[in-house]
């Protein structure tokens, strides 16, 4: 386990991809990482289109950086959340070669971890139907095996797989500013109206239990949840020299470049 730390948004994505790539080469034990954001930032899902699903002008003028995740899913406005990443082999005895089953296992760990922190959450058995109010906003739609607290979504997740390894990203909302979300993500409709719609389907740790649970409490609870459900003991560590070197290369070649963050897979396909 790599313990909680706040990083630049581009570095956060570079670290996760470095862990993922090195795991493909060396098949190390699974790695769980908790992290935060040194400043508010938007992460885009791998396939999302900036022009269609993001208010780019607002983000630019507000100094909100945009970074594209290697994982799928929809956009997240970070800054008031606890983010985790998990890298493991598809054939690991702890998880599954089946994507949906892996989501279910990890969601079970998070449910237990939230319970340790005093938050009662449960798993969505079937995804919500209908058009989500937040357009490209991750938390506006609940997919199968994602988590609700008090009937509202509190944790979103996305995953990628390649060469026998998966990377899962997840974000637990610690607080929610629906106006900020609607200003940055999505481009159509009345922002005030959309903010009210999001408030009806999305919740946060603060809304659920107030200020009684801080970031340290949440990290400890989630770590305990993974240990209890998976029957493991997490050992703290850090990036290896090889992972750190790959992170720096990914920063320079990919995550600090607009070509990736704004165009993503379509730019790669056209190159």
Residues labelled as active-site residues: 138
**75: DSSP letter:** B
Question: Going by C-beta distance under 8 Å and a sequence separation of 6 or more, which residues neighbour residue 60?
Answer: none
Question: Going by C-beta distance under 8 Å and a sequence separation of 6 or more, which residues neighbour residue 127?
Answer: 141, 142, 143, 144
Q: Are the beta carbons of 183 and 58 closer than 8 angstroms?
A: yes
Strands 81-89 vs 165-173: parallel, antiparallel or unpaired: antiparallel
d(Cα 221, Cα 198) in Å, to the nearest integer?
27
End-to-end CA distance of the chain: 37
Q: Which two tokens stand for residue 91?
A: 């054939």
What order of strands is seen across the sheet that includes strand 76-78? 66-68, 41-44, 76-78
d(Cα 14, Cα 70) in Å, to the nearest integer?
9
Strands 31-37 vs 2-7: parallel, antiparallel or unpaired: parallel
**30: DSSP letter:** P
d(Cα 253, Cα 247) in Å, to the nearest integer?
10
Q: Are the beta carbons of 3 and 34 closer than 8 angstroms?
A: yes
86 three-class SS: strand
């Amino acid at each position: 386990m790599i313990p909680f730390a706040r990083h630049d948004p581009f570095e956060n994505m570079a670290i996760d991809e470095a862990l993922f790539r090195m795991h493909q080469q060396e098949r190390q034990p699974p790695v769980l990482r908790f992290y935060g954001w040194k400043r508010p930032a938007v992460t885009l899902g791998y396939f999302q289109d900036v022009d269609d699903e993001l208010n780019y002008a607002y983000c630019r003028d507000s100094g909100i950086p945009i970074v594209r995740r290697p994982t799928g899913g929809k956009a997240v406005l970070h800054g008031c959340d606890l983010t985790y990443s998990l890298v493991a082999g598809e054939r690991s005895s702890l998880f599954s070669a089946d994507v949906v089953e892996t989501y279910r296992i990890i969601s079970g760990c998070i449910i237990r971890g939230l319970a340790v922190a005093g938050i009662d959450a449960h798993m969505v058995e079937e995804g919500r139907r209908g058009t989500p109010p937040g357009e490209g906003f991750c938390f506006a739609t609940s997919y199968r095996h994602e988590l609700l607290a008090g009937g509202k979504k509190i944790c979103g997740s996305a995953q990628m797989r390649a060469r026998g390894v998966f990377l899962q990203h997840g974000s637990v909302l610690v607080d929610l500013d629906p106006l900020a979300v609607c200003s940055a993500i999505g481009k159509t409709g009345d922002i005030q109206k959309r903010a009210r719609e999001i408030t009806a389907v999305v919740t946060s740790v603060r809304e659920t239990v107030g200020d009684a649970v801080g970031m340290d409490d949440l990290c400890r609870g989630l770590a305990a949840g993974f240990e209890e459900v998976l029957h493991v003991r997490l050992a703290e560590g850090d990036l290896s020299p090889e992972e750190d070197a790959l992170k720096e290369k990914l920063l320079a070649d990919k995550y600090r470049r607009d070509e990736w963050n704004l165009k993503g897979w379509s730019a790669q396909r056209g190159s």
